A and B are shown apart, each in its own frame.
Chain A
Amino acid sequence: MQYAAVTGIGQTQYKARRGDVSIAGLVHEAAQNALDDAGLGWDAIEAVIIGKAPDMFEGVIMPEVYLADALGCSGKPMLRVHTAGSVGGSTALVAASHVQSGTFRRVLTVTFEKQSESNAMWALSNPQPFSPHLNAGAGGYFAPIMREYMRRSGAPWDTGIKVAVKDRLHGSRNPLNHLQMPEITMQEVEESPMLWDPIRFLESCPSSDGACAMVIADEGLAKEGPKAPVWIRGGAMRSEPTMYAGRDEVNPQAGRDCAADVYAQAGIDDPRKQLDCAEVYVPFSWYEPMWLENLGFAEEGEGWKLTMDGATSLDEGGDIPWNCSGGVLCSNPIGASGMIRFAEAARQVRGDAGAHQVVGARTALGHAYGGGAQFYAMWVVSVDK
């Protein structure tokens, strides 16, 4: 297998509504930023790997066809990836695999969502014949799973509130974020409306417009770039059905298996110690302690202790800061959200994460999940090959 590295990263500003651009304009902006970052023109790209959340969100079916011109795909291979909310991560991994396999030497990968044009709230709760309409939305679907986590672990009731504050404080260091809440307090979160018990309004992700792109190149080309290459040390995807007898929805098997695979590839046996930071898909506050356990940063039932002790907080000097960028709780252009995690992990390793940089970060985890917490994508990136 060839070595592959991230050589360019481009993001848009994340906002509730990017009314100034079309969908094509949005993806082009991120892609152009990634090319500029890599010091490249469109000609340098051999293939484009694009992802977004389900087509039903914006109601544009197969949008990749319409986006080919905006992404310089004329005469080049283009591939679309579909894995619901984890698609940003999966798309990066599919792009990386095209380089690792030797199929292409340098690819562009892009993901996006324009939630201001979409109907993401209900478009996954389709009415079905012979059934009452569930009408749950993501928050309603995940709320009972978080309740079950609270029951099992005995976590303090305000663990989620602590995550919501921590990620917004992190996020206020990142000017790209949709939500900018530098003054947020535990009390403010606690007093925000309860949407889906136990999730309050301020414990939930926003709906954002945005796109994220990366250039991924092989070893020879990566070393030619203006910035230090970020080496992809491991990448893994796993899926499981939404429902099956005995499924553990709090600590899904697919997530544990995916983590074990990516850690094995990267030579990691103690993620809390060997990783310097992690960008993990936490769209609802309680998913931080749940994923701390699922990803092996804490024993089962103990994840909340890391959160409450400040271990995951940059501001509290924690040993394993999670979501220094502010995470999904600060910006959520769904299809791009996973790739933003992957890209932000790469920024940390490259040392150009600005005010949310973890000093001396060398190895980082990027994580995405999607569907009914059934699709997982993860990568470990490092300054070391």
Chain B
Amino acid sequence: MSDLLRQQFVLGYTYTRSTGPVVGRFLTELRQRKIVGTRGDDGRVFVPPMEFDPVTASALDEFVEVSDRGEVVSWCWISEPRDSHPFDEPFAWALVLLDGADVPMVHAVAAPEAEMHTGMRVQARWSEEPRGYITDIACFEPEVTQGEG
């Protein structure tokens, strides 16, 4: 019987993305170490911002700056980080509800596993040179309040 041949091949193309006025503004504000959301028709503040209201479909253009501090509403511990993860050390993926926002956003929390809990207060650790990427927020870490030093 003859060999049945098989061969791997790679398929890839180059693309461009236009972020538009809403996601674009969110990313641009990150460069100033600011986090903005949009206000939905029912008054809720979406962070990251949504371009269109998920209920009414109207274009959302009222930007609201929110805090870079907030609360963990849910989390999952990554005990063995992989190469594509943001840290070599174990960390948590968490839904963080920023102060002033009405929906949580996903981000990484760098904290000891023993400290992780739903309801824990966290604050953003900004990257040294923000450039308009979501990774300008390097991660969230346990909040340090005034007086704690």
Is B43 engaged at the interface, CB distance under 8 Å to the other chain? Answer: no
Q: Evaluate contact between B20 and A69: CB separation under 8 angstroms.
A: no
Is A19 engaged at the interface, CB distance under 8 Å to the other chain? Answer: yes
CA distance A185 to B21 in the complex (A): 40
Q: With contacts A72-B57, A74-B54 known, is A22 near B11, CB below 8 A?
A: no
For B15, give its contact among A21, A42, A70, A119 (CB under 8 Å).
Answer: A119
- Residues in B with CB closer than 8 Å to A123 are 13
Q: Evaluate contact between B20 and A70: CB separation under 8 angstroms.
A: no
Interface size, chain A (Cβ < 8 Å): 31
- Residues in A with CB closer than 8 Å to B9 are 127-129
Is B23 engaged at the interface, CB distance under 8 Å to the other chain? Answer: yes
Is B55 engaged at the interface, CB distance under 8 Å to the other chain? Answer: yes
Q: With contacts A21-B18, A70-B52, A128-B9 known, is A28 near B59, CB below 8 A?
A: yes
Q: Evaluate contact between B13 and A25: CB separation under 8 angstroms.
A: no
Closest Cβ–Cβ distance, residue A53 to chain B (whole Å): 14
Q: Evaluate contact between A71 and B15: CB separation under 8 angstroms.
A: no
Is A56 engaged at the interface, CB distance under 8 Å to the other chain? Answer: yes
Is B145 engaged at the interface, CB distance under 8 Å to the other chain? Answer: no
Interface 1/0s, chain A 50-94, versus B by CB < 8 A? 000000101100000000011110100000000000000000000
Closest Cβ–Cβ distance, residue A126 to chain B (whole Å): 6
Q: Evaluate contact between B20 and A21: CB separation under 8 angstroms.
A: yes
Interface residues on chain B, size class = 20 to 34
Q: With contacts A118-B15, A126-B11, A127-B9 known, is A25 near B56, CB below 8 A?
A: no
Interface 1/0s, chain A 128-143, versus B by CB < 8 A? 1110000000000000
Among residues of B, the one whose C-beta sits closest to the C-beta of A29 is: B59
For B7, give its contact among A21, A119, A126, A130 (CB under 8 Å).
Answer: A130
Q: Evaluate contact between A119 and B14: CB separation under 8 angstroms.
A: yes
- Residues in B with CB closer than 8 Å to A128 are 9
- Residues in B with CB closer than 8 Å to A18 are 18
CA distance A71 to B57 in the complex (A): 6
Q: Evaluate contact between A117 and B18: CB separation under 8 angstroms.
A: yes
Is B19 engaged at the interface, CB distance under 8 Å to the other chain? Answer: yes
Q: Evaluate contact between B15 and A117: CB separation under 8 angstroms.
A: yes
Q: Evaluate contact between A129 and B7: CB separation under 8 angstroms.
A: yes
- Residues in A with CB closer than 8 Å to B52 are 24, 28, 69-70
Segment 1-26 of B: residues with Cβ below 8 Å from A = 5, 7-9, 11, 13-24
Is A168 engaged at the interface, CB distance under 8 Å to the other chain? Answer: no
Closest Cβ–Cβ distance, residue A114 to chain B (whole Å): 7
Closest Cβ–Cβ distance, residue B39 to chain A (whole Å): 15
Is A183 engaged at the interface, CB distance under 8 Å to the other chain? Answer: no
Q: With contacts A22-B51, A122-B13, A130-B5 known, is A114 near B57, CB below 8 A?
A: no
- Residues in B with CB closer than 8 Å to A56 are 13
Q: Evaluate contact between A117 and B16: CB separation under 8 angstroms.
A: yes
12 new A-B contacts, CB < 8 A, other than A25-B59, A117-B17, are A28-B57, A59-B13, A70-B52, A72-B57, A74-B57, A116-B18, A117-B16, A122-B13, A123-B13, A126-B11, A127-B9, A129-B7
Kindly list the 6 A-B residue pairs having the minimum CB-CB distance in the complex, ordered from nearest: A22-B20, A72-B57, A129-B7, A119-B13, A59-B15, A42-B57
Q: Give 6 A-B contacts (CB < 8 Å), ordered by A residue.
A: A21-B20, A22-B17, A28-B59, A58-B15, A69-B57, A129-B9
- Residues of A that sit less than 8 Å from B by CB: 18-25, 28, 32, 42, 56, 58-59, 69-72, 74, 114, 116-119, 122-123, 126-130
